[in-house]
Structure 1
Amino acid sequence: MVISKSMCCLPRRVGRRFLSPSTCFPLSTPRAICRASSADSTMTSSCSGTWRRPSTSNESKTGEAGTHQLQLPYPDPFNDTVLVRFQLASLETVRIEIRDNHGALVRELLYRPMAGGLYTVEWNGRDGDGEAAVSGMYLISMHAGDTRETVEAVLVR
């Protein structure tokens, strides 16, 4: 975490989502992303450009035009499999990863170029070796172009 008189840079949690660790916010408006409405879902920061607020479950399932977007997993909590939905605005190489609450890679679900559209991938609660993951919180990350979004899901065995 980096704090100056006017800026704060840290991993940012918005509801059940985490923004990139390099995200900077003006100290005068640290909660602007949390309070943005779906009609006005951007904020401008002097150090980091424009940041899009992650969607919530009650917003449009197709998201905003021209954006890549990771949606909340379903069901959550889950005990066997969880569905991960994401939207691409255009052709991009997409990486979907599952990490434990310490940040260690559990499994890479997807890593390939994909055309724009709405997609769903399923995680069966197993690691890369096919072993059942233990109960706990897991971070599901999507990397597509310049977009980095992370949501959490809870596995209950």
Structure 2
Amino acid sequence: MTDNDPFARLPEVPSFAVTSSSTSHGAALARAQRSGLFGVAGGRDRSPQLSWTGAPDGTKSYVVTVYDPDAPTGSGFWHWAVADIPATTNTLEEGAGAPDSAALPHAARQLRNDAGLSHYLGAAPPDGHGRHRYYITVNALDVERLDIPDDATPAFLGFALSEHIVGRAVLIGTADASD
């Protein structure tokens, strides 16, 4: 594992709380949150359950992402990106990140991850690469909808939300190929 922190060079914003019944901060992700599509035995590619509280006043929407900064790519690996989650939402059920999920709020949009899929892709660190961290992040924004195309990448999403972020909640899960 490396010390690279994806938020280290970004402006500080107020934090709020995110919890999950699927995992806890610093714990290994369950098999359900691992990737069967990428060959992990028992992996189910189910997005984790998430609940958040304490978002700053003025929050008008949320963006949820799952990012692995430890992937051997030079740029990390985006596993999930959901934009335009209404401010009235404060929980996502496990599996909400399925393709064409009815469990996401109507206005929410799942963007393509780094595998080109518009849904959650579970953790799948390569054999021998050690423990990876998965930053599960809820970003609170001051706009109801981001003006980005439906085929925007998570990196482009990051640029777009940077001008509108009013708070951030982070939970870090881990995975190793030997888990």
Higher strand fraction (1 or 2):
1
Q: Which has the higher contact order (CA 8 A, sep 6+)?
A: 2
Higher helix fraction (1 or 2):
2
Q: TM-score scaled by structure 1?
A: 0.41
> Computing the radius of gyration over CA atoms, which structure comes out larger, 1 or 2?
1
